[in-house]
Amino acid sequence: MDDRSGELARLSPACSEAAIAAYRDGVPVSVIAPALHVSAYTIDCVVRKARIEMLRERTAIVKHHAEMLDRAFEAEHQSNIWTAPPRAKEIVREVSVKFRVPLSSILRKHRHGNVARAAQMAMYRLAQEGRWSNPQIGSFLGGRDPSTVFYGVRRIKSLIEKGEVAV
């Protein structure tokens, strides 16, 4: 262990917080370090640790909110997918896993990008494998209009023909 790491260990929590606050306010490390009687390396380490901790906290908050939204949405739409036949549920779950999209996102009416493609694939697979009608598929997938199901099935068929999507 060199002197610099020992210096980091001796730095009090109050000094660490002061250094982080000053850094956040835009004070350069070259000004903070002499004011706290430590090296710039020590301040860099403190700031780096604080950034990592903030990122961990933000990630945990985002994950928590996403899980809460998923649970609330699934509870709200239980009458749709959860009353569907077992094979229909299985197909929607498989699509959810394949596209790495939460099940609740597939059940939402407003979506973009990969989520829309996952919902369309679910519609296609339900129509092909399950032989359910468009109104039935629409009700499984959050009360969607049958014309939306028709469009989704047609869209996936055209992408399969072009070779852009595999089932």
One-character DSSP codes across 84-122 = S-HHHHHHHHHHHHHHT--HHHHH-SS--HHHHHHHHHH
Residues 153 and 97 in one domain: yes
Q: Which of residues 114 and 156 earns the better pLDDT score?
A: 156
Residues 93 and 156 in one domain: yes
**Number of domains into which the chain is organized:** 2
Residues 83 and 58 in one domain: no
Residues 86 and 156 in one domain: yes
Q: Tell which residue, 79, 131, 123, has the closest CA to residue 99.
A: 123
Domain that holds residue 43: 3-65
Residues 37 and 102 in one domain: no
* Mean pLDDT value of segment 126-141: 87
Last residue of a domain, one of 43, 65, 87: 65
Residues 21 and 83 in one domain: no
Residue 72: inside a domain, yes or no?
no
Q: What is the pLDDT of residues 101-133, one digit of tens each?
A: 888 888 877 667 788 899 999 999 999 987 789
Q: What is the pLDDT of residues 15-39, one digit of tens each?
A: 778 877 877 787 777 787 787 777 8
The Cα diameter of the chain in Å comes to 75
Residues 38 and 95 in one domain: no
Residues 113 and 146 in one domain: yes
- The reply to whether the predicted model has a pTM over 0.75 is no
Residues 115 and 82 in one domain: yes
Residue 14: inside a domain, yes or no?
yes
Residue 71: inside a domain, yes or no?
no
Residues with Cβ within 8 Å of 93's Cβ and at least 6 positions away in sequence, in order, are 103
Residues 86 and 149 in one domain: yes
CATH code at 153?
A: 1.10.1750.10
